[in-house]
Amino acid sequence: MAVPSNLDIAQKASLKPIEDVAGAMGLGSHLLEPYGRNVMKISLDAIEELADRPRAKYVVVSAITPTPLGEGKTTTTVGLGQGLTRIGKPAVVAIRQASMGPALGIKGGAAGGGYSQVLPMEKLNLHLTGDMHAVTAAHNQLAAMVDSHLFHGNQLGLDPDNITWRRVLDVNDRALRNIVIGLGGRADGVTRQTGFDITAASEVMATLALTTGLDDLRSRLGRIVVGYTHDGEPVTAEALRAAGVMTVLLREAIKPNLLQTCENTPALVHCGPFGNIATGNSSVVADLIALHAGEFVVTEAGFGADMGAERFFNIKCRTSGQAPDAGVVVATVRALKAHSGKYRIVAGRPLPPELFDENPDDVATGAANLRKQIDNMRLHGVSPVVAINAFPTDHRSEYRVIEEIAAEMGARCAVSTHFAEGGAGAAELAEAVAEAAAEPSQFRLLYPDEATLPEKIETIATKVYGADGVTYSPQAKASLETYRKAGFGQLPICMAKTHLSLSSDPTLKGAPTGWTLPVREVRASVGAGFVYPICGEMRTMPGLGSDPAAAHIDIDEHGQTVGLF
Amino acid sequence: MAVPSNLDIAQKASLKPIEDVAGAMGLGSHLLEPYGRNVMKISLDAIEELADRPRAKYVVVSAITPTPLGEGKTTTTVGLGQGLTRIGKPAVVAIRQASMGPALGIKGGAAGGGYSQVLPMEKLNLHLTGDMHAVTAAHNQLAAMVDSHLFHGNQLGLDPDNITWRRVLDVNDRALRNIVIGLGGRADGVTRQTGFDITAASEVMATLALTTGLDDLRSRLGRIVVGYTHDGEPVTAEALRAAGVMTVLLREAIKPNLLQTCENTPALVHCGPFGNIATGNSSVVADLIALHAGEFVVTEAGFGADMGAERFFNIKCRTSGQAPDAGVVVATVRALKAHSGKYRIVAGRPLPPELFDENPDDVATGAANLRKQIDNMRLHGVSPVVAINAFPTDHRSEYRVIEEIAAEMGARCAVSTHFAEGGAGAAELAEAVAEAAAEPSQFRLLYPDEATLPEKIETIATKVYGADGVTYSPQAKASLETYRKAGFGQLPICMAKTHLSLSSDPTLKGAPTGWTLPVREVRASVGAGFVYPICGEMRTMPGLGSDPAAAHIDIDEHGQTVGLF
């Protein structure tokens, strides 16, 4: 049975009044501010007001190492939320806001898909309530104050060659990656080299995602390091007198946005930190509200369990103090086949047709990756559930292989057809997740705050990625030493590594062994609260293809939007 | 009597539910979308739905040539709206959205002041409903598509040295005025020189302000010229396949925002095109709604009557087909004294103390400027009303001089104390405006569409500015010829001239004679629909001072915003 297009399903879905969706979460109207039709912002007062209500079970949805196409993690998150609600366990879904740049670049939104979407998807994918733009504004206000400081005499003694704060825009624009600013005359600023990242990669975004409230946000923003003096001393946003205005610019953006799924399940959509160099997880404050607004919270962690889930556990949960009750590992037949190493999948090109042939053996070969990602949940004491995200081209024999491996590993497993069937298709998965979450939580962080930065890096590399060890460039070593001296040693680690392999080499499939993790460079997001070692080339500003999604988006003769995903 | 601070008045004002404000305008709830507390967007369907209701009187508020401090045009606009409502003539105020960059640069918002403010002023001055950010996004999406086109083979044959489309951000950041992009490797785009303007200076903003609806916006955006081929042919946003996505990015931003004054008068706040190089007027669509939603519409035109009002008449009214019924010329004692040429007023420095001495003679000397600006209203067949914006340091004898000059010119005149007293203080002004507007409209455009571009420029220069003639640089001449050939000759003119003098020399006060207007350069905003000759240095990206407003904005221990204006 063919599933209609996302936009078709979205436009035909019957939405509940959003205040009713909020009401079902126990949110009174004094906590709500409507933002256009079918979207509301929720006051952070809700955290305290709901605190006495029972705590929900907290479920994180991650995945095996994905192909470049993604394996439907958002769709599964939404579908599972709908499925839990259907089996009588009202759930709240918590996901990231889409980054507009990529949404207009490679065709595809970030609102889920098929009958497991968050609506209104046009809003979710474009602007929403302007949070992304507020992050851009706060980030660039700080940048303007940095360059203005240089221009007006540089009292703080910033080394112009050691300014780490770049600028951001929510657009795919490769020409802005490396730029020279301050050209022209003396009145046009100080000339120096810098660049733009995409807004999702802004430390302000990561900070907003990890903060627990407005005061905390104010303090974190003040701690942001924009660069160093000639003596190597960090210079902060506080020293530049920028943290106050940045906080004020973010005072609406800190409030989570309430939308709903196409089955009217509440969906909090809030923050979208980049998965490459930041946490790739939606906001702490959204989860803190959701955790007392239903029986289950289903949230997504970007990329595979080695990346998003590891950061969810060791950064997001460390910050929020919340312990997850179950961890879903989304797997697809096609991705497991690809992990056999026999198929090449390239984004934007047709899939190799032999990928669709019935071939349980290739699934079994590729399942090494699944095993490792299940282990990665266990490593943190979290009950794993394998969610097989069903595609029409799958074969029953292939599912059987996955089910057997899960059983062998002691993990629950279910096939989920939420894309084609919505929550009804995710009912079996929902039951499995509910069982797993009913077990007493054994959650544990992978490393203590007190471990040294290299110890933390090596723990993640060897235990989560399966590396033999870690090597550091001289530059990386020097940075680690700088950060230790500056007092950043207690921060957790956010590894910037390819998401296309458990290793740092995107071409290595399955569960690679016999390799070491090369750390090329180390940076610190002191405001957000993590240190990020960079292993390999990390793009922080995407480019547009020759035929981008943007070129197909338009209005029709009735003024309706067309061509959107 | 000392007037409390703007923020104090704003925080103590008693706001009506915004849906009641809308209801008083005849707007049903199906036309409204709330955007946070006390702000709504109005669907453009309102234009058609209200069309059968009686048409309001249309009043434009302009000024004499201001000092760098401004003479309270927004405050007078708001006060007059309140005053008219108080004398039994329900009015709607229509003003521009604040540009956030300057609001965070030089201390001062754009919501009016004292007891004549539009509220919530924190929202008006920061983000509002995100329209400014949507303009930024649409503008920069086009820029990304321009550079992506160069990168992917440049099929349209764009001359990289003749790309006129820059990028924009709503921030004061001088270091972005002149930049080189596309540095790095081959994958990082094509290297070329360009820069950022402030978002208010975006042609997209001017286009949004002048459009009459979504389809019209789509067509205008398609006509935007981003640069030229090596043969000098214009390349458009349509050719780059960007106009559709730009329209979709602006589909919320095209809807006017409804707020209210501190006396609950409806206030439409929509678009903020730069006064320097664009129209400096709020949106056509807001006025089209307001014109059938009350007995009076009071809208503001940026800068003096030679600048904002001239553009209001010859660009905005030409586009909308609407004729104004009265034109207010705001005058202050201090500005008229400054026009005597005896005082030097510099923004950010204390005023010369002798400016406050009783001195009707200096007012009389400076009044040459007032005479000319009254004439500029008459030139367009519009009944002029002089509004003396009262300051506590003024003297009655000084008012008398102004009143005599107005009487001599046959213009109505009133002293207005709206800043200190709100609408009650503007009642006399409101009566004068109501009388002027009751006269049959004699409105006429200054030049026909068919006049050549040089004829239009010369008409404005000689008739409105009082110049003896116009000189053109060779570059300006060449551009005029290019535009004629490209078919842009029928467009109106938006003169980019200093607002601090009737002449092109900001140091010449009063009503200078015996000078010629030098046109250095000519550019075309084909999407917005005007050609703009540049006379003198025009800054399109401000910078921050050493102690910017931003450095004083923060949250207090209760989470309240402090330091905002």
| Chain A interface includes B145 (CB < 8 A) | yes
Chain A residues lying within 8 Å of B130, measured CB to CB: 127, 129-130, 133
Q: Tell me if B136 and A134 make a contact (CB, 8 A cut-off).
A: no
| CATH pick for A131-249 out of 3.30.1510.10, 1.10.260.30, 3.40.1180.10, 3.90.226.10 | 3.30.1510.10
Nearest CA to CA, how far is A182 from chain B (Å)? 4
Burial code of A368-395, b = ≥16 C-beta within 10 A, e = fewer?
bbbbbbbbbbbbbbbbbbbbbbbeeebe
CATH topology match: B6-120+257-438 vs B453-534: no
CB distance B61 to B80 below 8 Å: yes
Element (H, E) at B116: strand B116-119
Residue in A32, A121, A173 to test binding to B, most B beta-carbons within 10 Å:
A173
Q: Tell me if A251 and B553 make a contact (CB, 8 A cut-off).
A: no
C-alpha distance from residue B305 to each of A465, B116, B273, B321, B372 (Å) = 69, 22, 17, 20, 9
CA A563 to chain centre: 25
Bond from prior residue into B266 cis (ω within 30 degrees of 0): no
Nearest CA to CA, how far is A459 from chain B (Å)? 34
| Chain A interface includes B173 (CB < 8 A) | yes
Question: What CA–CA distance (Å, rounded) separates B458 from A376?
Answer: 76
Chain A residues lying within 8 Å of B160, measured CB to CB: none
Could you give the residue ranges of the DSSP H alpha helices within B197-306? 203-210, 214-223, 243-249, 284-290
Residue in B142, B170, B554, B562 to test binding to A, most A beta-carbons within 10 Å:
B554
Q: Which residues are bridge partners to B469 per DSSP?
A: B516
CB distance A306 to A73 below 8 Å: no
Question: What CA–CA distance (Å, rounded) separates B320 from B301?
Answer: 15
Residue in A40, A41, A544, A557 to test binding to B, most B beta-carbons within 10 Å:
A544
Which chain A residues in 189-208 lie under 8 Å from chain B, judged by CB atoms? 189-190, 193
What would the two tokens of residue B475 be? 């570059």
Please report the pLDDT score of residue A1 as a whole number.
55
Q: Judge whether A73 is annotated as a binding position.
A: yes
> Is the pLDDT reported for residue B307 higher than 80?
yes
Closest residue to A130, CB basis, from B127, B179, B544: B127
Chain A residues lying within 8 Å of B140, measured CB to CB: 169, 171, 173
Which chain B residues in 227-256 lie under 8 Å from chain A, judged by CB atoms? 241-245, 247-249, 251-252
DSSP-based three-state secondary structure for A470: strand
Chain A residues lying within 8 Å of B212, measured CB to CB: none
Quick one: average pLDDT of B251-280?
Answer: 96
Residue B172 makes CB contacts below 8 A (sequence gap 6+) with: A144, B101, B102, B104, B105, B198, B541, B542, B543, B544, B548
Question: What CA–CA distance (Å, rounded) separates A552 from B245?
Answer: 8
| Chain A interface includes B457 (CB < 8 A) | no
Residue whose token pair is 């490792």? A372
Instruction: Identify the architecture of domain A6-127+256-438 in CATH.
Output: 3-Layer(aba) Sandwich (3.40)
Mutual angle of helices B73-86 and B427-438, in 10-degree steps: 80
Question: What CA–CA distance (Å, rounded) separates B198 from B136?
Answer: 9
Q: Tell me if A130 and B133 make a contact (CB, 8 A cut-off).
A: yes
C-alpha distance from residue B104 to each of A165, A184, A245, A391, B323 (Å) = 20, 24, 8, 52, 36
Nearest CA to CA, how far is B125 from chain A (Å)? 11
Handedness of CA A155, A160, A165, A167 (dihedral sign): positive
Chain B residues lying within 8 Å of A258, measured CB to CB: none
| Chain A interface includes B1 (CB < 8 A) | no
Residue in B42, B127, B226 to test binding to A, most A beta-carbons within 10 Å:
B127
Q: Which residues are bridge partners to B413 per DSSP?
A: B386
| Per-residue confidence band for B108, with pLDDT thresholds at 50, 70 and 90 | low
Question: What CA–CA distance (Å, rounded) separates B338 from B343?
Answer: 5
| Chain B interface includes A98 (CB < 8 A) | no
Please report the pLDDT score of residue A8 as a whole number.
85
Quick one: average pLDDT of B294-319?
Answer: 96
| Chain A interface includes B407 (CB < 8 A) | no
Closest residue to A544, CB basis, from B145, B177, B184: B145
> Is the pLDDT reported for residue B424 higher than 90?
yes
C-alpha distance from residue A245 to each of A139, A153, A217 (Å) = 11, 22, 12
CB neighbours of residue B30 within 10 Å? 10
What count of CB pairs under 8 Å joins A to B?
A: 234
Residue A22 falls in which region: left (phi positive, over 0), alpha (psi -120 to 50) or beta: alpha
| Chain A interface includes B43 (CB < 8 A) | no
> Is the pLDDT reported for residue B136 higher than 90?
yes
Query: Which fold, A453-534?
Result: Formyltetrahydrofolate synthetase; domain 3 (3.10.410)
Question: What CA–CA distance (Å, rounded) separates A265 from A95?
Answer: 13
Please report the pLDDT score of residue A69 as a whole number.
87
Mean pLDDT, chain A cut into blocks of 10 residues (565 residues total): 82 93 96 95 98 97 94 96 98 95 81 94 92 98 98 97 97 98 96 97 98 98 97 96 98 98 98 92 98 98 94 98 98 96 87 94 96 98 97 96 97 98 98 97 96 98 98 96 94 96 95 96 96 91 94 92 84
Please report the pLDDT score of residue B169 as a whole number.
98
Q: Quote ipTM for the complex.
A: 0.96
Residue in B248, B285, B541, B557 to test binding to A, most A beta-carbons within 10 Å:
B248
Does this model's pTM top 0.95? My answer is yes
Closest residue to A174, CB basis, from B141, B151, B550: B151
DSSP single-letter state for residue A500: S
CB distance A24 to A263 below 8 Å: no
Q: Judge whether B69 is annotated as a binding position.
A: yes
Q: Judge whether B74 is annotated as a binding position.
A: yes
Q: Tell me if A144 and B564 make a contact (CB, 8 A cut-off).
A: no
Phi, psi torsion values for A481, nearest 5 degrees: -70, -45
CB neighbours of residue A469 within 10 Å? 10
Please report the pLDDT score of residue B1 as a whole number.
55
C-alpha distance from residue B359 to each of A344, A396, A527, B66, B401 (Å) = 85, 96, 57, 19, 10
Q: What residue spans define the domains of chain A?
A: 6-127+256-438, 131-249, 453-534
CB distance B327 to B87 below 8 Å: no
Q: Give the angle A509-A510-A516 at the CA atoms, nearest 5°.
A: 75
CB distance A402 to A390 below 8 Å: no
> Is the pLDDT reported for residue B348 higher than 80?
no
Q: Judge whether A74 is annotated as a binding position.
A: yes
Could you give the residue ranges of the DSSP H alpha helices within B250-292? 284-290
Q: Tell me if B133 and A133 make a contact (CB, 8 A cut-off).
A: yes
User: What is the C-alpha end-to-end distance of chain B, expressed in Å?
Assistant: 20
Which chain A residue has its CA at the smallest distance from B30's CA? A37
Please report the pLDDT score of residue A239 as a whole number.
98
Residue A375 makes CB contacts below 8 A (sequence gap 6+) with: A409
Has domain B6-120+257-438 been given CATH number 3.40.50.300? yes
Three-class SS string for B4-58? CCHHHHHHHCCCCCHHHHHHHCCCCHHHEEEECCCCEEECCHHHHHHCCCCCCEE
Chain B residues lying within 8 Å of A252, measured CB to CB: 36, 127
| Chain B interface includes A134 (CB < 8 A) | yes
Please name which of A514, A503, A517 lies closest in space to residue A471, comparing C-alpha atoms. Answer: A517
How do residues B474-516 score in pLDDT, each as one tens digit?
999 999 999 999 999 999 999 999 999 999 999 999 999 999 9
How do residues B425-472 score in pLDDT, each as one tens digit?
999 999 999 999 999 989 999 999 999 999 999 999 999 999 999 999
Phi, psi torsion values for A325, nearest 5 degrees: -105, -15
| Per-residue confidence band for B69, with pLDDT thresholds at 50, 70 and 90 | confident
Q: Judge whether B120 is annotated as a binding position.
A: no
CA B411 to chain centre: 24
Phi, psi torsion values for A136, nearest 5 degrees: -55, -45
Nearest CA to CA, how far is B129 from chain A (Å)? 8
Please report the pLDDT score of residue B461 as a whole number.
98
Which chain A residues in 463-492 lie under 8 Å from chain B, judged by CB atoms? none
Handedness of CA A222, A224, A227, A228 (dihedral sign): positive
Q: Judge whether B275 is annotated as a binding position.
A: no
% of chain B surpassing 70 pLDDT: 99
